[in-house]
Amino acid sequence: MVFFTKVKLNSTKIGRFANLKNLKMKFGTKAIHAGQKADPSTGAIMTPIYQTSTYKQDSPGEFKGYEYSRTGNPTRTALENNLAALENGKYGLCFGSGLAAVDAIIKLLKPGNEVISTNDLYGGTYRIFSSIFEKYGIKFHFVGMNDDSKIISHINENTKMIWAETPTNPMLNIIDIRNLSVLSKKNKLLLVIDNTFATPYLQRPLEMGADIVMHSLTKYMGGHSDVVMGAAICNNDDIAQKLYHIQNSCGAVPGPMDSFLVLRGLKTLHVRMQRHCENGKVIANFLKNHSKVEKVFWPGLKSHQNHNIAKNQMDDFGGMISFNLVNNKLEDAIKLVSNTHYFTLAESLGGVESLIGHPASMTHAAIPKKEREKTGVIDSLIRLSVGIEDVEDLIKDLERSFNLI
């Protein structure tokens, strides 16, 4: 039997979006103001970095909302409140990385439970599912989620969760969240959506019926490639209670400095995402018309197989683009990604600077070749995280590299 420590669900213990006036704010206003207030002791506009591990108690058990920084920290609380507001959720919880958030969510399950996951997903998520949690008796089914019958065929009495990324990494497939919500509720399953690629600026899965939204805050939410962090947001009191117990008991929490950095980054999320989307559209169309490009994967293109779903559930189409090369030669892909200047060859995504990567040998190397090729991650697939530089410079940079192959 698993015992959960009972804690009060209040704004000092769990990042909480309880102030209904936040619902009336537009997104950019939320990003700057939600969950935050001037420091009462100094009037400081920015949330202070409470660099402390512990807090003075007036007598045993009597404290001012915080007792130990693994359990809660005022800087982290401000961030958790802000994240909940942006996703139109009730509870936000931060973790030491995106994978730490994945870890906490899967710990809601127990041995013998089964999870149906999209087969096109971040390699790190695949790795923790297949090489860590399967050892503890949790079974994962990796299926394409554009066909309901494939999902339904794997549902049985042990199935407890559906896990999906949308847009997916790196193929930019779009999964119908509302449809998954109907399917999960009909079968009494938890629906978890990884919203890292879209951010709440572009889509808000809780509004479409998801039970939990998770993020790698390292990416667009932080936005400056200077912090590693993850988050989970939900509305359900019981789920929040269990996640908080896991967060506190397992201790994979971020420090106050990292919390401050993400909180600062979120203040410009709406401005940055608008530019990412604008630049993404230009780059996608440049690639679509390039003679050395076989296919472009970007949901804003009408040729994208899920374009209509994307139009329905997203407010724009983002700055993540993947493409493969004519003749599918590994050596061409390696030469192209190794010779750009403004597009930096690096892991990760979502920063203000443009990044380029080769999924088969980098982010998705943990997935067996046969399995990754089934989802489209072939040897010449290249992934771009289009930044917010001047797009003309980015096109010239890509063209120079194309000329070498």
Cβ pair 340, 397 in contact under 8 A: yes
Residue 164 to residue 157: CA distance in whole angstroms: 20
Structural domains of the chain ordered from first start: 15-266 (3.40.640.10), 269-402 (3.90.1150.10)
Helix (H) or strand (E) holding 287, with range, is: helix 269-288
Q: Which residues are catalytic?
A: 70, 122, 194, 219
At residue 370, the pLDDT reads 87
Cβ pair 120, 297 in contact under 8 A: no
pTM of the predicted protein model: 0.93
What is the block-wise mean pLDDT of the chain (405 residues), using blocks of 10 residues?
42 45 80 90 94 95 92 97 97 98 98 97 95 98 94 98 97 97 98 98 98 98 98 98 98 98 98 98 98 98 97 98 97 98 97 97 87 92 98 98 97
At residue 1, the pLDDT reads 34
Q: What are phi and psi of 160, to 5 degrees?
A: -125, -15
At residue 389, the pLDDT reads 98
Which residues, 6 or more positions from 109, have their beta carbon under 8 angstroms from its beta carbon? Answer: 115, 138, 160, 161
Helix (H) or strand (E) holding 303, with range, is: none
